Structure 1
Amino acid sequence: MKKLLSRVRSLAVPVALAVGGVASAAQAQIMSDGQRFHPVPARSHMVVSQEAQASLVGERILAEGGNAVDAAVATGFALAVTLPRAGNIGGGGFMVVHMAGSGETVAIDYRERAPGAAERNMFLDEAGEASAQKSRRSGLAVGVPGTVAGLALAHERYGSGKFTLSELIAPAIALATDGFVVSPDLEAALGRERTRTLLEADPEAAAILYPGGAVPVAGSRLPMPALAQSLRRIAEDGPAGFYEGPTAAAIVKTVADRGGRMTLDDLKTYEAMVREPARGTFKDYEIASMPPPSSGGVHLVQMLKIIEDAPFGTYGLNSAAMIHLMAEAAKHAYADRALYLGDPDFVDIPVAKLLSEAYAESIRAKISMETTTPSSEIMADPANLPHESNETTHYSVMDAAGNAVANTYTLNFSFGVGFAAEGTGILLNNELDDFSAKPGVPNAYGLIGGEANAVGPRKRPLSSMTPTIVLKDGAPLIVTGSPGGSRIITTVMQVILNATVHERDIMTATAAPRVHHQWLPDYIRIEEGISHDTIRLLEEKGHDVRIQSSMGAAQSIMRGPDGLLYGASDPRRPGGLAAGN
């Protein structure tokens, strides 16, 4: 135990030095802001995440000889403390790992799972209609968390062997015990009236996030002693410290008290899974991304294949022709997502056909560059695109040996279901809202629920998370991913396109204005920054174009032609950091 505590303090030192008080917190914010439009270079290794203190934890692991997986595990546990609205041990997600020595690329699925007692109609009210309260704010909404199992599996199979799991959790314990420095972004998030009303309604969540009943001020320290104790159990007992014993009992009791059906057996039998990535080629690049139950990788590769033969040099980044082509390709991909995608352990998904050259060619032949095709003509019997929150987070890691990790995880909504497991400091997810609550019946938006993504016992709900590694000549070139709900897939696609065929550096590729089409509703969503002339040309092609709020928060690394690593933390959300050496 003394050795563990010593390790906690030694690994916490760089975090304390960087963000150890009001002045240091401001300095960390300046560091982050200074990266807004310039990629950050590093000679050997890099971590890019949405929260600076967590990035520094991962970078320290790399500096002490850990590999990319070690750093990813430490970063993931640290974000559970420092980014409570999305970082978590009470949620789940997906990880793509490339190991340079073996050339192996794998996908780790640690998506939340429905309890064994879940049933198809559990989110319907007495009138047989879908109830948002049940699927988003009750115990029924909480999926069996996968993060601890996923991070532990990654460490066990792909870690360097230089760090125990306890040592990788140690920095998170230190941050939770001593208090992490509150960022301006977290102060703003907790100060929003809607968020405060939700979280203060739960005494456990209020005690964690509003000590003394007040919104924590940027630059102050926020300790989380109950979460520190939960993390210690994992450090001492491994995943059993979460999925069994006092933590598991507290999760089950809290969920049951809120009307849920989770049992101790649901937690004890949860397993993270290693899956074959969704793979494809684009130009001279190999794409390795997340397979089902995420739809992200399949449809990222599908869209890239559809547009692969475009004259990118002629069209140009964010030209009317480029936006039109991406939108038309996205309509077909998102229509397929709604019909075919779900948990591959329960439904037969035609992944090979969706990713085939022949299928891409058949879609390409249907696209006119002169006029848009209405979404109603692409599919006569539409299926629902399940809701997925923006409040996910992604981080990317590359090490000196050429290993790489892309990891995206979430609680679903901001701060998840809005309540915490009693006495644990653990905010719980509301991920089961990503199921189709009522397949076959139009929802409030007139969309039909997808049969493949119906609620079922031990099923994993469909996701859009798209952690991705782009390889060239067998070595990682780009590691990227983003939050953003249904807009994750198009965000990742645009980062990749901007950095490859449009030949932008990784920060410019990240900061460029984004566009999005998801088949239904039938309009192009764009960020500010697209020219009015471009919008006019798109409207002349028949598009409904709407300027809306910013999309995503990509965290990316790219290896430059000079051999250096270049990091980019998306300027759309403050507080992120590319940390490397």
Structure 2
Amino acid sequence: MKKFHLLCCTMALMATLAGTATAAPRAEITDVFSRHGMVSSAHELASKAGVEIMQKGGNAVDAAVATALALNVVEPNASGIGGGGFMTVRFAETGEVVVIDYRETAPKSSTKDMYASEEAKEKKISKLGGLSIAVPGQTLGLWTALTKYGTMTWAEVAAPAIRLAEEGFVLVPMQNDIIKDNMEKLTDYNDIANVAFLDVEGFPLQAGDIVKQPKLAEAFKLIGEKGPRKAFYDGPIGKAVVEAVNKAGGNMALADLKEYDVAIRKPVRGTYRGYEIFSCPPASSGGTHIVELLNIMENLPVGGWIANGPEYLHYLGESLKLVFADRQKYMGDTAFLNVPLAGLTSKAYAKTLFERIKPYEVMEKVEPGDPWPYDSEANKTAYIGDAVSEQVSTTHFSVVDQRGNIVSSTNTVNYFFGSGVMVPEYGFVLNNQMDDFSQNPESVNAPEPGKRPLSSMSPTIVLDPQGQPFMTVGAAGGWRIITTVGQLIMNVIDFGMTMDQAIEQPRAHAHANDGKASRLQIENFIDPETVIFLNMRGHDVETVSHIGTAQGILFKGGMMNGGADSRRLGVSVGF
């Protein structure tokens, strides 16, 4: 009787809400349109750096490297040469899509149980200090992209970043808040004289202050003069990295840097309503599970619903629980385990997951599915996964040039200001990517020498049903990268939004860990009536300030349509 009463109330409320307008966007929509080239990044000066390179004749890869280096200067808390990332590239001339994987790797000293003890957990050694630092990959990754697919020299593409580092940029309030929130770890691991974001007394620089980073400029120049191996991985920068790591309690050797290498990978591929998706393969889980999410949602008439309406958010939340249950069990570095990628991205498998979702019930216990029958049973492996909680300090940017080449790139140092450890001679932050490994030594995602920690980064490129470029998009936000990119794709394809409309809409997130479903998180500017409806349906709704941050470019009406997230300092710049 209770369930019948709830069903009647729910159906009545659905009728009431059927005409409810889409929830208001987070901020004023600021779509940018251009014909010749565009960069959408988390900071205007970085976007301008990429555009400057294209205006000088560079292609999208040249501009991407310039943008990444400029972000190291103006957004050093989120990415830089002390970290790593992924870059998805589509070449206009051939249509080929590749993924450049420059994710960090665990040092040779790593052991599966290095974070398992109660003391290690109490001291947070996977998050702070030298033992949290993995071998940085971004320098070699950007160099590889530039020399293999670009047209300009490192010195040419690094020039805007070097200029920004030497001349300085104006700090804004959002950045001041981030510095204040992380002041303790910056001062714990560094001489304040070596931290460009603090004043001479060790206090955070204020909004309006000029931030200059001449030491970082020297690092960029040295890489251009000597190349990444002689400058960074087997040279003065690398030696300074090792010294900083070990001084902060780590155990890294120059041999760890010497043996680091970049991988050129085939993208994960899928389709959604005839649109083709290209995204990141393992050790990122992002591309695989975005495809899995979209495969589940493809069974539903999403385009006939209200954008961010209760029906849509119910099915989205339930689908995400199933996706993250699978992520926990099956995903990791494919150099160390078999991952059923074909099964996880199979539409037939997604149909079995969809059939587990009930229209008027909410899953509280969520076990992973079995994708192996849709993969190769010969590779079937039983193992223990782990739901590592990735952090929000990541950055994404998208680039399109006038030839139609596309770059989608996501980069990170993990937490804001990474490990807290900076390289004093060269002024950049070192990652704490080791925290993306599991603390459980029996997990397939436990640390091992040379292993890449599991990621959710998802630089994605979408083609239309005719095989033409349609969109390049990606996000920051740990697990919520998967959530965000999936919703952006549906916002554009199902609801017909422009790029910035899609980005500024409120977002939702849910997941499952160890068989237990999370609460349904909704950004706090969602329509209040929708929250009432979701609560009545059985969802435990939690409102939060933001879910992910995103940048993207849409091809629309013969123009490039850029959108950038007001949840950060995102700005699209075109010409």
- TM-score calculated relative to the size of structure 1: 0.88
2:573 corresponds to 1:579 = yes
Give the secondary structure class of the aligned counterpart of 2:353: helix
Match of 1:310 in 2: 300
* Structure 2 residue 555 is matched with structure 1 residue 564: no
Q: Aligned to 2:402, what secondary structure does the other structure show?
A: coil
- How far 1:541 sits from its partner (Å)? 2.5
Q: Distance in 1 between matches of 2:128 and 2:275?
A: 42
| 1:516 lines up with 2:509 in the alignment | yes
Aligned residues of 1:100 and 1:475 also touching (Cα < 8 A):
no
The match for 2:531 among 525, 535, 541 is: 535
Most deviating of 203-212 and 309-318 = 203-212
Counterpart contact for 1:199–1:206, Cα < 8 Å: no
Q: Deviations over 1:100-122 (max 9, x none)?
A: 11110011110010011211111
Structure 2 SS opposite 1:215: coil
| Among candidates 334, 339, 345, match of residue 355 of structure 1 | 345
The answer to whether the 8 A contact 2:565-2:571 is kept is no
Secondary structure at 2:317 match in 1: helix
Question: Structure 1 residue 475 and structure 2 residue 477: aligned?
Answer: no
Matches of 2:537 and 2:149, distance apart in 1 = 49
Asked if the contact 1:205–1:418 (Cα under 8 Å) also holds between the matched residues in 2, the reply is: no
Partner of 1:389: 391
Preserved contact between residue 138 and residue 260 of structure 1 (Cα < 8 Å): yes
Aligned pair partner of 2:186 in 178, 199, 209:
199
1:204 deviates by 4.2
1:537 CA drift (Å): 2.3
Is the counterpart of residue 92 in structure 1 residue 84 in structure 2? yes
**Is the contact made by 1:392 and 1:412 (CA closer than 8 Å) also made in structure 2?**
yes
Contact 1:36 1:570 in 2 (8 A): no
Question: C-alpha deviations, 1:227-283, integer Å up to 9, x for none?
Answer: 111111101112121112111111111111222121111101111111111110001
Q: Distance in 2 between matches of 1:211 and 1:274?
A: 42
Please state whether the residue corresponding to 1:281 is helix, strand or coil.
strand
Q: Contact 1:568/1:578 (CA < 8 Å) preserved in 2?
A: yes
Q: Kindly tell me: are residues 96 and 377 of structure 1, through their superposed partners in 2, closer, same or farther at Cα, counting changes over 3 Å?
A: closer
Give 1:219-234 correspondences, 5 Å limit.
219-234=208-223
- Two-structure CA RMSD over aligned residues (Å): 1.9
Instruction: State yes or no: 1:115 paired with 2:77.
Output: no
Look up the SS of the partner of 1:485 in the other structure.
coil
Determine the C-alpha separation between the residues in 1 that align with 2:191 and 2:511.
38
Of the candidates 500, 513, 516, which is equivalent to residue 507 of structure 1?
500
**2:401 pairs with 1:414:** no
CA distance 1:206–1:293, change in 2 (3 Å):
farther
1:204–1:421 Cα contact (<8 Å) kept = no
**Does the CA contact (< 8 Å) of 1:123 and 1:131 recur in 2?**
no
Q: How does 1:63-82 map to 2 (within 5 A)?
A: 63-82=55-74
Specify the code of the residue in structure 1 equivalent to 2:79: G
Distance change in 2, residues 1:532/1:485 (3 Å): same
In structure 2, the residue matched to 1:398 is 400
Give the Cα separation in 2 of the matches to 1:382 and 1:314.
Answer: 40
User: Aligned residue pairs: how many?
Assistant: 531
Which AA in structure 1 matches 2:500? M
The alpha-carbon deviation at position 393 of structure 1 amounts to 0.6
The structural deviation recorded for 1:422 is: 3.0
**In 2: Cα distance, 1:205 partner to 1:332 partner:** 46
Gaps in structure 1 of 5+ consecutive residues: 1-33, 441-450
Instruction: Give the TM-score, by structure 2 length.
Output: 0.89
How far, CA to CA, are the matches of 2:384 and 2:359 in structure 1?
Answer: 24
Letter in 2 for 1:148: T
CA distance in 1, matches of 2:28, 2:386: 36
1:134 to 125, 129, 153: 125
Cα distance per residue 1:369-392 (max 9 Å; x no partner) = 221222345579995310211010
In the aligned structure 1, how far is the partner of 2:333 from the partner of 2:559? 39
1:50 is matched with 42
Offset at residue 406 of structure 1 (A): 0.7
Q: Give 1:439 shift.
A: 4.2
Cα offset, 1:315, TM superposition: 2.0
Structure 2: gaps of 5 or more residues: 1-25, 371-382
SS of 1:287's equivalent in the other structure is strand
Is the Cα contact below 8 Å between 1:35 and 1:569 reproduced in 2? no
Shift of 1:199: 1.1
The share of aligned pairs that are identical, in percent, is: 40
Q: Which amino acid aligns with 2:116?
A: L
Q: 1:178 aligns with which of 137, 157, 167?
A: 167
**In 1, distance between residues paired with 2:368 and 2:77?**
37
Aligned-residue offset at 1:287: 0.4
Q: Secondary structure at the match of 2:303?
A: helix
How far apart are residue 360 of structure 1 and its match?
0.9
